[in-house]
Amino acid sequence: MTKETIKTADAKLTVYLNGPNWEGVQAATFGDFSCKSPEAGAQVVDAGIELVRNAGIDRVIGPMSGDTWHNYRFVSYSDGSTPFLMEPTNKTHEPEVFWSAGFSEISRYFSARVELEDTDKVAPPESDGFEVEAWDGNDPEGLFRQVFALSAQAFSKNAFYKPISESEFLAMYLPVVPMMKRELILFARRHDGNLAGFLFGIPNYAEGPTPSSAILKTYASLEPGAGRHLAHKFHKAAAEMGCKTAIHALIHDDNKSADRSAAEGATIFRRYSLLGRKLNG
């Protein structure tokens, strides 16, 4: 990945020239951004735009550290609650630097919370196509190889999707294995043994060693209905672990899981924006 970091005493920005496509056109991304003041931020963003122009690229997405597998999105609304584990964070003045530089919103996301006692107590109708099971705790590398293969297939049509290698994926996720609870790692498996879907949940250790909330971090399915079954099993397992609240994390506004979260009665507590600018537009 071609990248260059622009750094001053009061600001930092990494420009990734080999970013994902935006509306079918290759884009660069601005990631790893921080600044002590809007003025300092504007200095590195302007320098980044000049670097992108000189590379012959006319679209920039940010904040995004190269692709959607890594950190991306600004917090655009918050109820003031403490960030949860692995949630994007930023200083309140940092998004304004991008807006002032001519960026606009190109994608929206949210996180919501629901009291587990309020989630659906009745299991979805049984499916003949798959069965949901928890990870047995063995072979974490094999686990994430399966997750990678299904993720690459399930997410490939998402906006701003850019493929990465299996080795890159494993390097990101294997370090979190010590924090994982196998009860919250769920698979929907077809009768031939192939995966129809998965759900990756994790206790919200940002609250401390005995958290009262669990995060529904990521799920994907290739089979209709698998997502609902996985979410139901996750809520039940989290409650049995002693958690009181589930966090439905980082959901795209237009995703089917957004409708499911709303149907569960979850309340939005954070919103996020991904911004973009067409330099010649």
Distance in Å from the first CA to the final CA of the chain: 26
Q: How far apart are CA 105 and CA 92, in angstroms?
A: 16
Question: Residues 217-229: pLDDT tens digits?
Answer: 988 888 888 888 9
| Banded model confidence at residue 96, pLDDT cuts 50, 70, 90 | very high
Prior bond of 125 cis (ω within 30°) = no
Instruction: Domain ranges for the chain, please list them.
Output: 3-108+272-278, 115-271
Domain made up of 115-271: CATH architecture: 3-Layer(aba) Sandwich (3.40)
Q: Cα 194–179–183 angle (5° rounding)?
A: 45
Q: Which residue, among 252, 255, 269, has the nearest Cα to 107 in the 3D structure? A: 252
pLDDT at 281: 62
CATH of domain 3-108+272-278: 3.40.630.30
Q: Where are the alpha helices (DSSP H) in the chain?
A: 38-54, 94-100, 140-154, 166-173, 226-240, 256-263
Question: Residues 138-147: pLDDT tens digits?
Answer: 899 988 898 8
pLDDT greater at residue 259 or residue 111: 111
pLDDT at 1: 56
CB atoms within 10 A of CB 247: 25
| Fold match between domain 3-108+272-278 and domain 115-271 | yes
pTM assigned to the model = 0.92
